[in-house]
Structure 1
Amino acid sequence: MIKKIQLPLQTLNLVVGFMVWVIISSLIAYMGEDIDIPKDKLAVLTAIPVILGSILRIPLGYLADVIGSRFVFLISFIALLFPVFYISDANTYTDLIIGGLFLGIGGAVFSVGVTSLPKYYPKEKMGFVNGIYGAGNIGTAITTFAAPLIANQIGWSSTIKLYLILLLVFIALNIFFGDRKEPRKKTPIVEQIKGVYKSGKMWNFSLFYFITFGSFVAFTVYLPNFLVSNFGLEKVDAGMRTAGFIVVATLFRPIGGWLGDKFQPLILLMIVFGTYTLSAILLAFSPSLLWYTIGCILIAVVAGIGNGVIFKLVPFYFNKQAGIVNGIVSMMGGLGGFFPPILLATIFSITGQYSIGFMLLSSVSLASLVIVVSMYYQDRLTLSQEVFNSTAQGILVTETNGTIKAVNPAFTRLTGYTKEEAIGQTPRILKTNRQNKEFYDQMWNSIKENGMWQGEIWNRRKNGEEYKEWLTISAVTDETGDPVRYVGTFSDITDEKKKKDD
């Protein structure tokens, strides 16, 4: 029973964590009426919670493996009581900075669930499971939409105090319903980091999540104030539009995870980053609120899909180091939400427009698209190499002049010739005198006419022992139909032949 409720419980934990995480960005317009907040530091203030929310994802992901998600969620929610109370009584910009920094704990809990939940489900369901869990980021939409409405009635300070009650409720829920017997791994954190820090795939996933989740966070904290200042919208209207962006991105996250389970994830990421590239260009030159809205919705859709797909890939490639890799990748996503608002604000202060910032997003997305395409074809090559190396049949590849270009391990096992000894030679090293010239002439005539030949043939091992094999030779042709190499596959049938003769 306890195991079955971990997905809904941890998803709700994430909802609460993200609700707390964006308190300042959602209510900053109201706080500014009572607290002197320099306009040139608004972006810094809204981005501050993202710092700790990003950095803490590594240790929290690791701790989820070591002590279990129940304790990590408990510790996190207890720790969040301080900044929430502190901000509710804030009087200065410094108070908001201090409290906002520790609000980051709410965003850091993301790495707990993506590390814990794979322990309860098979790999083929990881995309959908992590997508459902990741949909917990709808907590940002709840706060963005609801907090301004409540603040209109009872004030921003009292609104924030309501979050203390919510945290206390979830502390109790985790005490009673958290899984005390969750499987745990105790590999030292240094050893885990050593095992993954050189992995190109991990850093590629980090870049991808930097863009997909980073853009989600960045738009969440940046849109409310931007829509008010740039398009003159009312604060509640801006909050509702931002909540709409969050809802779309959140709903498409489990869809992205589900698609990652059903289809090739890297192809999905190609679509994601291709759409990002075009959408960012649209935002850079959007002349009206309508076109700006269309661009934002497109980014919300691909951000959600991309977030779901990426956390389908992480546990697939990194099973033993899932905790630390989830932490690193999700940290980079959080940092992706920290830098863009500051960058956009800086660019705007210098140029008076946001176009350059969106063109930078387009450029980085295009670079990511190129990397994904490269990873896709590299994976295909790796798969082909694995098949080549693991098959039980001997394989040799020759140039059209007969020079051996490649052999597999089974070739060495069957013939006794190592790869180094075979490459550069010709198949004549295996030849016996049991087949005459007419036999080989008929073989090559068949290959020229039909593209292949197969049959029984006697060959010789390196130690001089002769054996009978079943051999298939196929011609590999170019687009004009001319052969460019030949592939031979064979297996030893000597014992089978003896049994038939007996």
Structure 2
Amino acid sequence: MIRKIQLPLQTMNLIIGFMVWVIISSLMPFIKADIQIPPDKLAMVTAIPVVLGSILRIPLGYYANIFGARVIFLVSFVMLLFPVYYISAASTMTDLIIGGLFLGIGGAVFSVGVTSIPKYYPKEKHGFVNGIYGIGNIGTAITTFMAPVLATRIGWESTVKLYLILLLIFIALNFFFGDRKETKVKTPIVEQIKGVYKNEKLWFFSLFYFITFGSFVAFTVYLPNFLVSNFALDKVDAGMRTAGFIAVATFFRPIGGWLGDRFQPLFLLIGTFSIYTVAAILLAFSPSLGLYSVGSLAIAVSAGIGNGVIFKLVPFYFNKQAGIVNGIVSMMGGLGGFFPPIMLSAIHAATGQYSIGFMLLSQVALLSLVLVVLLYYQNRLSLASEVFNSAGQGILVTDVAGKIVTVNPAFSQLTGYSEEEVLGGKPSILKSGRQEGDFYQLMWKEIKDKGIWQGEIWNKRKNGQEYLQWLTISAVRDETGEDLRYVGTFSDITEEKAKKNRPTSGGK
């Protein structure tokens, strides 16, 4: 029973963590009316919670494997009590920065669930269950929508204090219903980092999540104040529109995970970054509120799908180091939410517009698109290489001049020749001398006419031993029909043939 409720419990934990994480940005239109914050410092104050929320994801993902999700969620929520109370009594910008820094713990808990939840489900469901857990992103929408409404009635200080009650409730829920017997993984953190940091896929996934989750966080932090100042919307309307962005991104996250379980995840990311690039270019032209909404919602859809797909890829490629990789990738996503608001504010202060900032975002998305395409084709080449190297039949490939360009391990096992010994040479090194010259002439005539030849042929191993092969030679041709190379596949059928020719003993 305890194991079955971990997905809903940890998803609700994430909702609470994210609700707390964005308190300052959601209430900033109210807070700045009471606390003097210079315009050029506004983006920094709202982005500060993202810093610790990003950096802490590495240790929290690691320790979720060591101690289990129950302990990490419990400790995190207890620690959040301090900054929430401190912010409710804040009277200076310094108070907001100090409280906001520790408020980042609420965002850091994300790496706990993505490390813990896959332990309860088979691999083919990891994308979907991580997507369901990712619905916890809706916590930012709940705060963004509800906090301004409550603040207009009871004040922003009392609104912040209400979060103390929520934290206490979930401290109790995790104490009683968290899984005390969760599978633990105790590989030292240094060993885990050494095992992954040279893997280029880790940094590719980090960049991809930097864009997808980073844009989700950045727009969550940036939209409420931007809509008020740029389009003269009232605070509640701005909060509702931001909540709509968050809701769309959150809704599409499990869809992205579900799609990642059923289709090629990298192909889905190609679509994701294509949409993101076009949408960011649209925003760069400072459109009307209607077109700005279309561009923002397109980014919400692509960010949601991308977030779900990426956390299908992480446990697939890094099963044994999932905790530390989840931490690193999710940290980069959090940092992706830290830099854009500051960059946009700095560009706006220098130029009076946001266009250059959005165009830069579109170019980073375009770079990610190029890298995904590269990774997609690398994967296909890697798959072909795995098939080539693991094939039980011997394989050799020659150019049109008949020079050997590559062989597989089975070739070396069957013939006794290493790859280094035959590269640049010709297959004639294997000739036994049993076949006459016209045999080969007829063979190559058939290959030229039909593109393929199959049959039995006697060849010789490096040690001089002759053996009977079943050989297939195929021509690889270009679009014009010209031969590019030849691929030979063969197997040893000497014993099989001898058994068939052996006379049987028995009655008359």
Q: Secondary structure at the match of 2:480?
A: coil
Q: Which residue of 2 aligns with 1:472?
A: 472
Could you report, residue by residue, the CA deviation over 1:421-464 in whole angstroms, capped at 9, with x for unpaired residues? 11111111110121112221221111111100001111100000
In the alignment, what sits opposite 2:123?
123
Partners in 2 of 1:447 and 1:23 — Cα distance? Answer: 72
- State how 1:375-390 maps to structure 2 within 5 Å: 375-390=375-390
- SS of residue matched to 1:202: helix
2:72 match: 72
Q: Which residue of 2 aligns with 1:58?
A: 58
Task: Please give the alpha-carbon distance, in whole angstroms, between the structure 2 residues aligned to 1:275 and 1:106.
Answer: 30
**What's 1:171 paired with?**
171
Runs of 4+ in 1 over 4 A off after TM superposition: none
Query: Following TM superposition, by how much is the alpha carbon of 1:33 offset from its aligned partner in structure 2, in angstroms?
Result: 2.0
SS of 1:32 mapped into structure 2: helix
1:207-243 per-position Cα deviation (integer Å, ceiling 9, x unaligned): 1100100000000000000000000000000000000
How big is each residue's C-alpha offset from its partner over 1:295-317, in whole Å with a ceiling of 9 and x where there is no partner?
A: 00000000000000111101111
Counterpart residue identity of residue 77, structure 1: F
> Given that residues 286 and 354 in structure 2 are in contact (C-alpha distance below 8 angstroms), is that contact kept between their aligned partners in structure 1?
no
Q: 5 Å matches for 1:83-162? A: 83-162=83-162
Corresponding residue of 2:233: 233
Distance 1:32 1:370 in 2: 41
Residue 382 of structure 1 deviates from its aligned partner by 0.7
Instruction: Report the CA distance between 1:182 and its aligned residue.
Output: 0.6
Cα offset for 1:40? 1.8
1:188 equivalent in structure 2: 188
The equivalences for 1:71-470 within 5 A come to 71-470=71-470
2:73 maps to amino acid? F
My pick for the range that moved more, 242-251 or 427-436, is 427-436
TM-score of the two chains, using structure 1 as the length reference: 0.99
Shift, 1:271, TM fit: 0.8
Matches of 2:262 and 2:418 in 1, distance apart? Answer: 41
CA displacement, residues 381-434 of structure 1 (integer Å, 9 cap, x when unaligned) = 111111000000000001112111110000000000000011111111110121
Shift of 1:204: 0.7
| Letter of the structure 2 residue corresponding to residue 132 of structure 1 | I
Deviations 1:168-215 (A, max 9, x none): 110111111111111111111011111111111101111110010000
Report deviation, 1:154.
Answer: 1.0
Identity %: 75
Q: Shift of the alpha carbon at 1:39?
A: 2.0
Question: Which sections of structure 1, spanning at least 5 residues, go unmatched?
Answer: none
Matched to 2:426, the amino acid is T
* The 10-residue stretch of structure 1 (31-40 or 13-22) with the greater mean CA deviation from structure 2: 31-40
Code of the aligned partner of 1:431: K
Of the structure 1 ranges 28-37 and 299-308, higher mean CA displacement relative to structure 2 is found in 28-37
The structural deviation recorded for 1:155 is 1.0
| Equivalent residue, structure 2, for 1:41 | 41
SS at match of 2:455: strand
1:179 is paired with a residue whose SS is coil
Q: Which range moves more in the overlay, 117-126 or 384-393?
A: 117-126
Once residues 192 and 9 of structure 1 are traced to their aligned partners in structure 2, the CA distance between those partners, rounded to angstroms, is 28
AA at the equivalent of 1:462? K
What are the ranges of 5 or more consecutive residues in structure 2 without an aligned counterpart? 503-508
Q: Which whole-Å CA distance do the structure 2 matches of 1:396 and 1:93 have between them?
A: 70
Counterpart Cα distance in 2 of 1:209 and 1:430: 52
Q: Which amino acid aligns with 1:487?
A: V
SS of equivalent residue, structure 1 residue 474: strand
C-alpha separation in 2, matches of 1:287 and 1:476: 52
In 2, Cα distance between equivalents of 1:444 and 1:95: 83
1:177 maps to a residue whose letter is: F
Q: Which amino acid aligns with 2:184?
A: R
CA distance, structure 1, for counterparts of residue 342 and residue 451 of structure 2: 63
Partner Cα separation in structure 2 for residue 2 and residue 161 of structure 1: 31
Partner Cα distance (1:167, 1:321) in 2: 30
- SS in structure 2 at match of 1:402: coil
Q: What SS class does the counterpart of residue 34 from structure 2 fall into?
A: coil
Stretch moving more, 424-433 or 342-351: 424-433
Please report how far the alpha carbon of residue 286 of structure 1 lies from its aligned counterpart in structure 2 after TM superposition: 3.4
The size of the alignment, in residue pairs, is 502
